[in-house]
Amino acid sequence: MKEIVEAILASDTPKAAFAALPVPETYRGAVVRKDEINIFNGLTSQDKDPRRALHIDEVTTPDLGPGEALVAVMASTINYNTVWTSIFEPLPTFGFLERYGRLSPLGKRHDLPYHVVGSDLAGVVLRTGPGVHMWSPGDEVVAHCLSVELERPDGHDDTMLDPEQRIWGFETNFGGLAELALVKANQLMPKPAHLSWEEAAAPGLVNSTAYRQLVSHNGANMKQGDVVLIWGASGGLGSYATQLALNGGAIPVCVVSSPRKAEIVRRMGADLVIDRAAEDYRFWTDEHTQNPKEWQRLGKKIRQLTGGEDPDIVFEHPGRETFGASVYVTRRGGTIATCASTSGFMHSYDNRYLWMNLKKVVGSHFANYREAWEANRLITKGLVHPTLSRVYPLTETGQAAYDVHRNLHQGKVGVLCLAPVEGLGVRDGATRERHLTAINRFRGV
């Protein structure tokens, strides 16, 4: 591994030299273990501690199959899916790996008693499998997390519709929170040259997801002037949704839960901000009953900020807690685009507000390669910026996941894998200089 790191850090290593570097037989990765899936039995979700379940283990380097690439991972990030994996909710991810294992001999490689997690990476291609022509050893890359087989017709219009669609590092093994990672070559995209490894890794999953959910015709199809209510606007998804809204000429109404978070979204350029903690919304009076008066209170607040307008789009992901309110406040004919249910997946809402006012609920999940590419292109062009707040070493992956689980973080939490320190990997200093303030906006907050 030392030789690999030295070759990458040298920054002028010829590409041919990468192909000649020996690939280690084992590597260190952040894993959950199959024999530990019951360790949190009896605890509430909140009390399940990712630090107990995430271990840094030495694992065997997988064989490379057709259409695949082995990448030396310089940096990765925590996504909420790693939080779900590490608390074994809603189900242990080993079920996904077993199912993949039943598909084919190549799928069988993933069905192991450990799961190397992580759905983002920035790094360097070490090897490519048969049939890969677009990428080669030495390429500096980021990876999106859509893994598809595409053997059936269903996914050939929109690859997210492939019946064998998986989220890499969540529903497949050999994820990005590790020194090496196995990806399909059609997950690879060029690393933005003006960013460090950890900055380049940060947008991946969440930026692509927000792009499809908000901008793509497969999602809410946002246009100039749209009022967009963004829940969790300083969080992983929300910090990119806010930038995409501003960048696309829309008007974000950002919901956050503290003055500090309000300050961060203002720094991104959002003027209309709601502090949900200060407003103390109580959309539920008890476990079974919602309070429409509180939906109305939120609606009034939004109108107060927008000069009387309701949201054309609600960017939904908290789920059960907020969904009734989201459906209520959306304007006539507007769209509630949802990609998650952090607070609970059994949603309830008053359907009269949906059908009588011709609103739409659109389900959105990650992004196809084209959408992920467009999202990464915005980063490369300096139109959208990483929202990296804090970076941990690989050995502290558990702590990094804990921060996200406890909502102690802002934006994205990074993890250094092979990169020995932060700040390495910048190849275009001039572009970086132009965007430095924006790139550092979330740092240390």
Q: Which residues bind ligand NAP (CB under 6 A)?
A: 79-81, 205-206, 209, 231-232, 234-238, 255-257, 261, 276, 317-318, 321-322, 339-340, 342-343, 365-366, 404, 407
Considering beta carbons, is residue 73 or 230 the nearer one to ligand NAP? 230
Considering beta carbons, is residue 124 or 237 the nearer one to ligand NAP? 237
Considering beta carbons, is residue 218 or 234 the nearer one to ligand NAP? 234
Minimum Å gap between C-beta 245 and ligand NAP is: 15
Query: CB–CB of 252/241 below 8 Å?
Result: yes
Minimum Å gap between C-beta 237 and ligand NAP is: 3
Minimum Å gap between C-beta 152 and ligand NAP is: 21
Considering beta carbons, is residue 342 or 380 the nearer one to ligand NAP? 342
Minimum Å gap between C-beta 9 and ligand NAP is: 30
Quote the tokens at residue 159. Answer: 């690859």
Amino acid residing at 310: D
Q: Which residue has the tokens 């996504």?
A: 79
Considering beta carbons, is residue 182 or 255 the nearer one to ligand NAP? 255
Query: CB–CB of 187/376 below 8 Å?
Result: no
Minimum Å gap between C-beta 205 and ligand NAP is: 6
Q: Using CA atoms, how far apart are residues 111 and 120, in angstroms rounded to an integer? A: 20
**Closest C-alpha among 356, 315, 320, 317 to residue 336:** 315
Considering beta carbons, is residue 257 or 397 the nearer one to ligand NAP? 257
Considering beta carbons, is residue 237 or 415 the nearer one to ligand NAP? 237
Q: Which residue has the tokens 């990296």?
A: 388
Q: Which residue has the tokens 């790191």?
A: 5
Minimum Å gap between C-beta 115 and ligand NAP is: 16
Minimum Å gap between C-beta 372 and ligand NAP is: 11
Number of helical H runs and strand E runs in the chain: 17, 20
Q: Which residues contact 153 (CB under 8 A, 6 or more apart)?
A: none
Minimum Å gap between C-beta 265 and ligand NAP is: 9
Other residues' Cβ atoms within 10 Å of the Cβ of residue 258? 15
Sort 33 into a burial class: Cβ within 10 Å, 0-12 / 13-18 / 19+: middle
Query: CB–CB of 76/177 below 8 Å?
Result: yes
3-state secondary structure of 343: coil
Considering beta carbons, is residue 200 or 254 the nearer one to ligand NAP? 254
H or E stretch covering 228: strand 227-230
DSSP secondary structure, 252-291, as one string: EEEEESSHHHHHHHHHTT--EEEEHHHHT---EEETTEE-
H or E stretch covering 32: strand 26-33
Considering beta carbons, is residue 28 or 347 the nearer one to ligand NAP? 347
Considering beta carbons, is residue 34 or 365 the nearer one to ligand NAP? 365
Minimum Å gap between C-beta 38 and ligand NAP is: 22
Q: Using CA atoms, how far apart are residues 98 and 100, in angstroms rounded to an integer? A: 5
Sort 107 into a burial class: Cβ within 10 Å, 0-12 / 13-18 / 19+: buried
Minimum Å gap between C-beta 222 and ligand NAP is: 17
Q: Using CA atoms, how far apart are residues 87 and 45, in angstroms rounded to an integer? A: 7
